[in-house]
Structure 1
Amino acid sequence: METAEIRRRWLAFFEKNGHTVVPSAPLIHDDPNLLFVNAGMVPFKPYFLGQETPLWDRATSVQKCVRTGDIEEVGKTSRHGTFFQMNGNFSFGDYFKEGAITLAWQLVTTSQAEGGYGLDADKIWPTVYEDDDEAFAIWRDTIGIPAERITRRGKLDNYWHMGVPGPGGPCSEIYLDRGPEYGLEGGPAVDEDRYLEFWNLVFMQEELSAVRAKDDFDISGPLPKRNIDTGMGLERMATLLQGVDNLYEIDEVYPVIARAAEMTGKSYGEHSGQSAGSSHPDDVRLRVVADHVRSALMLIGDGVTPGNEGRGYVLRRMLRRSVRSMRLLGYEDPCLPELLPVSLERMQNSYPELATGFDRIAQIAYAEEDAFRRTLAAGTTILDTAVARTKEAGGSTLAGEQAFALHDTYGFPIDLTLEMAAEQGLEVDRDGFTRLMREQRERARADAKGKKARHANTEVWRDLRAGGATDFRAYEELTSEATVIGLVVDGEPVQEIAPGQQGQVVLDRTPFYAESGGQIADEGIITADGVHLKVIDVQRPVKGLIAHTVEVVTGGLQTGTSVLAQVDPEWRLSACQAHSGTHVVHAALRQVLGPSALQSGSYNKPGYLRLDFAWGQALSAATRSEIEEVANLAVRRDLPVSATYMPLPKAREIGALALFGETYGEDVRVVEIGGEWSRELCGGTHVQHSSQVGALTLTGESSVGSGVRRVEAFVGMDALRHLARERAIVAELSGLVGARPDELTDRIGAMVARLKEAERELERVRKEAVAAAAGNLTEQARDVNGVTFLGHDAGDSGADDVRTMVMDLRGRLGNQGPVVVAITGAAKGRPVVVVATNEAARSRGIRAGELVRVAATTLGGGGGGKDDIAQGGGQDVAKVGEALSAVEWRVGELAG
């Protein structure tokens, strides 16, 4: 049974049993503690935490998930993977243990002909929490499983919680006995390879007041409503139903392995002689490729783009690990154009939107591979230099610090460093590298833990939210009469905010727009008798609740006070112009560049906007001009702007564009500008007609990552001010060069050409002077123990001039037996030294690299290079004479 069919049957079964089918949330989720959705219950977490009221009594989903904590272990075993899908069914105060167990049993044991999965009931082994007699009795008495096949296990295995205070409860896991060929007999407690877990039923029934560890927590009492959260691994079930050994061999993953094996000439799974529990390196690399290519496809599909931090770094790392693994398998040509379409062909059966957006996905992925191939070329040069210096110093091991710098700064993989160093006869200080990596991870964990601790204390906002949602009036009015229902200072609830304090004010209703969707929050004031507050920020700490960050200018504010909330009308107008202008620019981009130029992020504030979009190359000046013209023509046409609420499927049906990474409810707000000309899901504030955007001028275009470009623009009065500044600059330049504005390009171009020609002539004259000076210097050479030595201080000459002079002098003196030339210079106050030797000198053991280190050490710096020519530098210009003397002394010592 194909994975897509397993997924379809799951949703059909639970929908038939009264569950609402909830679409998978994007992998990017609005949770500061998570890089990605990492469990099927994450989108439902606000319901379990009591932050929001559930929309349904029963729900089911197949949720896309990514876990990256064990990314280094991917491929080494058959269990580790990054992207996976979690089938879940949820009950919010409806059915409980018996209902969850019975539904699970029906689905997995019903024959495939009747719509189930058709597992052999006699091979199913449940586990229950050690004290959960109720679940044990249901499995034994209601379902009919013999007691000897029901295993009781402790908190580490069969008790679930979120790792923070909140709901928790015992769980029951379902295993299938795969047979003696997979391991020992005796149940899940004996062998979890033979007995493979595929479903976990969590019975949320208790409120945890403190959580210290997985098996160390305090229970404060029962939950007001008992809930069910189950998770069945889709890949695990596919492994069982397709009769394969592991997740890498199912229909959604293995085709990439097969194609990669074909491209590299390798054979997967046919290697013998491996120790138990280990895999052949080729198999590991093929698994890495298959896993990471699929994960990258899904992540880019949900709007993640490669970058140097956070989600973008995880994606970049996956793509680069894929390319690196193919290289280690012997394939050095671009590989993603061959592999990504194979993954698409399998995954589009469940996620058809991948096919729709594949042009954008491929553009981003292929650009990242091209960038990494360039990184590999640059890293190879840096590695070669590090290896050469290590050898010159007589070492046999590349320092861990150098390997770490290659990995961390240049993205050069440690495996590649090990391989290439070994090819040149060096080992790598792997312990030092590992220590630095561990320190980096510990810093990251500490930072993440700190963020989690800060975020975890949401109780104050949950308590305020329990009193009802904020009546959001920002779309209808700029001024609202309201009542203060909560005050918060430094994260703690208070009854009054005093003059001079800063804190958060929660009102029963508000006209203020809370920051979201790329639009910053409104500014304005909140007033009452004798009270004046300046609103400096507006946020949603939990869904449905709006908190206003204020500075108390005069008076003191108490809870229960009636106030007048007033948005600054000029601020709002400019913000509306910018947000509507963002939609206009997005539509113009797609009209000029094509439908693959999809927005991947935006930011707008009064008078200014920026928009990130999928595109693989810089825009020409003509293209930018065309985009600007299309946008301004739309503004001039005075297109109507409207906002309509509709079900999400209807919005998708009419072609409304969604912002990647945003989570949308069942009903969404569709903002249209000129009907289908621009149709996007958006919760922001907008003008009523496109002409109200005013002037729109693009001010910049740049790269923000592989396959992603950014445009910036001013709108309204800010656009006019920008154009006025540019006009003033043009007028000033015209006056300086004595030309009309329309002549400026030609006039300045001619001036730049003449300047470059003059610079070239100066360079020619300078080189001639250097050569002439070098010719006179040969007379200063003297014999040092049979070696012709020439040392000279070239004053303020730069490194290039010094190097040219050294090589010229070595050539002039080359017929006088062993020759060493050492010259110093000091461009911009920083000393430089270059040393050169001829063949006769080197045959006597006199090497330039050693001599330049002698000089550079005297100068307070370092250096290195080859035996024939080397360069170094330092800090102390006053010691150049001393440095030359040190070189001469060392030459004499080596020659003697």
Structure 2
Amino acid sequence: METSEIRRRFLQYFEDRGHTVVPSAPLPSPDPNLLFNVAGMAQFVPYFVGQQTPPYARATSVQKCVRTLDIEEVGKTTRHGTFFQMNGNFSFGDYFKEDAVKFAWELVTKPQNEGGYGFDESVLYASVYYEDDEAIDIWKRVAGLPDDRIVRLGMKDNFWSMGIPGPCGPCSEILIDRGSEFGADRDWEAGDRYLEFWNLVFMQNIRGEGGGKDGYEILGELPKKNIDTGLGLERVAYLLQGVDNMYEIDEIYPVIEKASELSGRKYGAEHEDDVRFRVVADHVRSALMLIGDGVTPGNEQGGYVLRRLLRRAIRSMRLLGYEDPSLVELLPVSLEQMKKSYPELVTDFGRISQVAYAEEEAFRRTLTAGTTIFDVAVRDTKASGAHQLEGAKAFQLHDTYGFPIDLTVEMAAEQGLNVDTEGFRSLMKEQRERAKADARAKKAGHADTSGYRELREKGVTEFTGYQELSSDSEVRGLLREGAVAPFAEQGETVEVVLEKTPFYAESGGQIADEGLILGDGLKLKVLDVQRPVKGLIVHKVEIVEGVLRPGANVQAAVDHEWRVSACQAHSGTHVVHAALRQVLGPNALQSGSYNKPGYLRLDFAWSSALDAATRSEIEEVANLAVRKDLPVSAQYMTLPEARDWGALALFGETYDEQVRVVEIGGPWSRELCGGTHVKHSSQVGAVTVTGESSVGAGVRRIEAFVGMEALHYLGRERALVRLLSENLKARPEELPAKVADLAERLRVAEKELERMRAAQVLEAAAELAKDPKDVFGVQYVGHRAPDGVNGGDLRKLALDVRGRMPNDKPVVVAVLSVNDGKPGVVIALNDLAREWRLKAGDLVRIAAEKLGGRGGGKDDVAQGGGTDAAGAGDALSAVEHAIGHQVTG
């Protein structure tokens, strides 16, 4: 049975039994403590914890998930995968244990020709929480399982919680006995013979504080009992398809077959190659799904994970012996398998492939640079007599050049070295903690959302900002450092929740409104507005006057000029996005945006820089749309209706069933958007593109001013042109030629100055060669040249001095100069000096160390530099001392 059919049957089965089919949430997680969704129940957490009232009593979904903790184990075992799918059925205070068991057992054991999975009942077991006698009784009655096929397990195995105080409960798993070849009889710990594939969580309790899987207290029962189940789609697929592991199922194995064909290596012949094949297949599929959900390669958070996956796949293909670009061959194969369940991948494949192929091209370039850094690190390590590459160096290779740690370990082993992996992991941990702290600060300001949840229980904040800029309201509550507070006084900065508000909370790329909240003897300046919990709008305010208390009647007023300019910028973003797609084509899809009054920037999928003519064309299309005075409207509809209508969604955003579609000029621009907008495109005002740049592989960024800011920008440009015209005595249209002529004349003059400076430097060679210092028989010249001599001229001087000295004695020439504040040094030796076991490379490293840098080269000529010009004198003395030590030692 194909994986897509297993998926379809699951959703159909539960839809037929009154469950609402809910689309998968995007892979990027809205939780500041997570990068990606890792469980099927992720998008239903607000319902389980009571933050929101569920719109349905029963739901079912197939959630896309990415697990990042085990990336380095992928391929080494048959169980670890990065991307996976979790089938789930959920009850919010509706049915409970008996129906959950009945539904699961029926679907699992029902014959395939009747719409079930057709598992043989005789090899199925159930595990239960050891105190849950109710569940045991249900399994006996509903499934007819005897006592010896019901396993009681402890809290660590069969009791579920979110890891924090809140809902929890016992669980029950369906296991299959795969036979004696997979392990000993009734060995529940190994996990290979008795394989769990469906977990039923009976969410009935409330847990307290505590750590681990069993180190907390059960405080009582929930007022409403819920069901949360998870059936691992890939696990069921390999059980039903008769293969041994997830890598060999229909959605993954074709990539292995293609990789085998490309590399000429056979899957199943050698363990090391098998690991590489599995890494390739898993990571290519994971990258396809991540890019499909709007993640782009980068150096932080989700982008960092994606980049790592792509580069591990590329490197694994190279280790399999395939040196050519591989993603162009493998990604379409993965698409062919995944499109059966995710048809949207087909329409978006142009953008997905563009991002992936650009990352491969970039990595192929950095492999060369990274390998050079690696070679230098290996040489320095060996020179110091050590046998272990520093963790900091491994981290640099990983962080700067994208080298996976296993690549560094493998390359080091080829050189006979170990790697300080503990030091590397420590640095990685520090980086992850910084990233998590940044994410928490950006998303909520506080990791603990209990204060927000407490105020959310008083009701949803009504947003009135689409209709008005001023609203009479009531203070529902206030928070100080994330905790609910009874009052706040003048001079404090606190967070305020109102019954209703016209203030727009930052989202969708649009920053928050500014303005005032006024009351009787009360004046609050609004500094920021956020939605830390769905349904709750929180204002960060400075109390300018008065004492703030819950229950106060206030008037919330948005700054009118601020909102007008913000609307211009947000509508301008939509206009520029539509212009991009008109000029470049449908693959130029937005992958992120930011707009504030008068300014916008938009990130979009594109692999190459836009030339001046293309930027001008985009700007012209945008301004023509503004001039046409296109109507701007917003409509509400279901998410499927919006997609059918052609509305574009922002990648990575989670949308409700009812979404808001903003339309500019009919089908020319239709996007899902909750932001504030102008009424007609002419109100955007002028659109002036100010720049375009790269922000990562396959992603470009365009920036623009709109409205009055655009006019101010053009005014500054006009003033600059006028000033240049006056100074250069040329008309504006003559300026390009005039400036080009001046630049060429300057280049010629600088070249002549450089020639004269080099000649002046070389004139000193004869005098220096006449007066060497005798250092235990070695003729040593240590000379600091005038400042400003570049490395090339310094090298010429050293060689010229060496060439002028007699060859009947060993000669060492060391010349040094400081150029642009950075010292450089060149050392040259003659043949006789090398016969005396002196090496220019060794001596230049000694000199460079005094300069706060490093150096290297051949035995006869070497070059180095540093950052500490004050060490110049010490560097030349250190070389002289080293010569004496070497000769006399």
- Give 1:703 shift: 0.8
The residue that corresponds to 2:835 in the other structure is 843
Match of 1:584 among 556, 575, 582: 575
- Give 1:776 shift: 4.1
Deviates more, 1:294-303 or 1:642-651: 642-651
**CA RMSD, 1 decimal:** 2.2
1:278-297 mapped onto 2 (5 Å cutoff):
280-297=271-288
> What is the distance in 2 between the residues matched to 1:162 and 1:107?
27
The residue that corresponds to 2:88 in the other structure is 88
Residues 36 and 66 in structure 2, CA contact (< 8 A), matched pair in contact too:
yes
- Give 1:290 shift: 0.7
Residues 858 and 883 in structure 1, CA contact (< 8 A), matched pair in contact too:
yes
Change (3 A) 1:9 1:560: same
> What is the distance in 2 between the residues matched to 1:204 and 1:617?
51
1:215 aligns with 2:214: yes
1:468-483 mapped onto 2 (5 Å cutoff):
468-483=459-474
1:125 aligns with 2:121: no
The residue that corresponds to 1:642 in the other structure is 633
Change (3 A) 1:192 1:880: closer
- Give 1:474 shift: 0.9
Residues 788 and 816 in structure 1, CA contact (< 8 A), matched pair in contact too:
no
The residue that corresponds to 1:444 in the other structure is 432
> What is the distance in 2 between the residues matched to 1:854 and 1:609?
52
- Give 1:777 shift: 3.1
Deviates more, 1:202-211 or 1:397-406: 397-406
> What is the distance in 2 between the residues matched to 1:32 and 1:861?
40
Change (3 A) 1:700 1:112: same
Per-residue CA deviations over 1:552-602 (Å, capped at 9, x if unaligned) read: 222223222222221111111111111100000000000000000000011
- Give 1:448 shift: 4.0
> What is the distance in 2 between the residues matched to 1:497 and 1:854?
63
- Give 1:839 shift: 2.9
Residue type of the alignment partner of 1:618: A
- Give 1:527 shift: 1.4
Residues 474 and 499 in structure 2, CA contact (< 8 A), matched pair in contact too:
yes
> What is the distance in 1 between the residues matched to 2:43 and 2:867?
58
Match of 2:758 among 762, 767, 784: 767
Q: Say which SS state the counterpart of residue 357 (structure 2) adopts.
A: helix
Q: Say which SS state the counterpart of residue 173 (structure 1) adopts.
A: strand
Residue type of the alignment partner of 2:185: E
The residue that corresponds to 2:44 in the other structure is 44
Match of 1:435 among 408, 413, 423: 423
Q: Say which SS state the counterpart of residue 540 (structure 1) adopts.
A: strand
Give 5+ residue unaligned stretches, structure 2: none
1:664-703 mapped onto 2 (5 Å cutoff):
664-703=655-694
1:852 aligns with 2:844: yes
The residue that corresponds to 2:863 in the other structure is 871
- Give 1:824 shift: 2.6
1:281-360 mapped onto 2 (5 Å cutoff):
281-360=272-351
> What is the distance in 2 between the residues matched to 1:879 and 1:21?
71
- Give 1:886 shift: 5.0
1:155-554 mapped onto 2 (5 Å cutoff):
155-186=155-186, 189=188, 191-271=190-270, 280-393=271-384, 397-423=388-414, 426-430=415-419, 432-441=420-429, 444-445=432-433, 448=436, 455=446, 457-554=448-545
How many corresponding residue pairs? 884
The residue that corresponds to 1:274 in the other structure is none
Match of 2:824 among 829, 832, 837: 832
- Give 1:465 shift: 2.0
Residues 412 and 418 in structure 2, CA contact (< 8 A), matched pair in contact too:
no
- Give 1:884 shift: 4.1
Residues 630 and 681 in structure 2, CA contact (< 8 A), matched pair in contact too:
yes
> What is the distance in 2 between the residues matched to 1:581 and 1:854?
59
The residue that corresponds to 1:33 in the other structure is 33
Change (3 A) 1:677 1:875: closer
- Give 1:875 shift: 7.2
> What is the distance in 1 between the residues matched to 2:384 and 2:459?
72
Change (3 A) 1:814 1:58: farther
Residues 841 and 856 in structure 2, CA contact (< 8 A), matched pair in contact too:
yes
Q: Say which SS state the counterpart of residue 56 (structure 2) adopts.
A: coil
Residues 725 and 732 in structure 2, CA contact (< 8 A), matched pair in contact too:
yes
1:153 aligns with 2:153: yes
The residue that corresponds to 2:21 in the other structure is 21
Residue type of the alignment partner of 2:168: G
Change (3 A) 1:394 1:529: closer
Give 5+ residue unaligned stretches, structure 1: 272-279
Per-residue CA deviations over 1:813-871 (Å, capped at 9, x if unaligned) read: 47545432222333356543321113332123121123334444566765443312223
> What is the distance in 1 between the residues matched to 2:842 and 2:416?
23
Change (3 A) 1:167 1:878: closer
Deviates more, 1:802-811 or 1:344-353: 802-811
Q: Say which SS state the counterpart of residue 427 (structure 1) adopts.
A: coil
Q: Name the TM-score, length of structure 1 as normaliser.
A: 0.95
Residues 446 and 482 in structure 2, CA contact (< 8 A), matched pair in contact too:
no
Residue type of the alignment partner of 2:783: H
Q: Percent same amino acid at aligned positions?
A: 64
- Give 1:634 shift: 0.1
> What is the distance in 2 between the residues matched to 1:509 and 1:351?
39
Q: Say which SS state the counterpart of residue 781 (structure 2) adopts.
A: strand
The residue that corresponds to 1:276 in the other structure is none
Per-residue CA deviations over 1:769-819 (Å, capped at 9, x if unaligned) read: 333332443322466565544333323234332222112233344754543
The residue that corresponds to 1:275 in the other structure is none
Change (3 A) 1:871 1:390: farther
Q: Name the TM-score, length of structure 2 as normaliser.
A: 0.96
Change (3 A) 1:421 1:814: farther
1:607-646 mapped onto 2 (5 Å cutoff):
607-646=598-637
- Give 1:666 shift: 1.0
Q: Say which SS state the counterpart of residue 771 (structure 1) adopts.
A: helix
Per-residue CA deviations over 1:34-89 (Å, capped at 9, x if unaligned) read: 10111000000000010000111111000100010111111110010110000000
The residue that corresponds to 1:725 in the other structure is 716
Change (3 A) 1:487 1:876: closer
- Give 1:506 shift: 1.7
- Give 1:543 shift: 1.4
Change (3 A) 1:422 1:868: farther
Residue type of the alignment partner of 1:67: R
1:75-114 mapped onto 2 (5 Å cutoff):
75-114=75-114
The residue that corresponds to 1:141 in the other structure is 141
Per-residue CA deviations over 1:92-140 (Å, capped at 9, x if unaligned) read: 1111000000000100100000010000011101100000000001111
The residue that corresponds to 2:793 in the other structure is 801
> What is the distance in 1 between the residues matched to 2:821 and 2:499?
67
Change (3 A) 1:709 1:328: same
Per-residue CA deviations over 1:614-667 (Å, capped at 9, x if unaligned) read: 000111011100000000000000000000001111111110000001111111
> What is the distance in 2 between the residues matched to 1:567 and 1:858?
60
1:875-890 mapped onto 2 (5 Å cutoff):
883-884=875-876, 886-888=878-880, 890=882
Residue type of the alignment partner of 2:396: A
> What is the distance in 1 between the residues matched to 2:874 and 2:467?
80
Q: Say which SS state the counterpart of residue 712 (structure 1) adopts.
A: strand
The residue that corresponds to 1:277 in the other structure is none
Match of 1:811 among 803, 818, 821: 803
Change (3 A) 1:475 1:823: same
Residue type of the alignment partner of 1:269: G
Residues 390 and 423 in structure 2, CA contact (< 8 A), matched pair in contact too:
no
Q: Say which SS state the counterpart of residue 533 (structure 2) adopts.
A: coil
> What is the distance in 2 between the residues matched to 1:46 and 1:436?
37
Residue type of the alignment partner of 1:553: V
Residues 823 and 833 in structure 1, CA contact (< 8 A), matched pair in contact too:
yes
Change (3 A) 1:409 1:808: same
Per-residue CA deviations over 1:395-444 (Å, capped at 9, x if unaligned) read: 55544443332223332333433444455xx43342x2432323431563
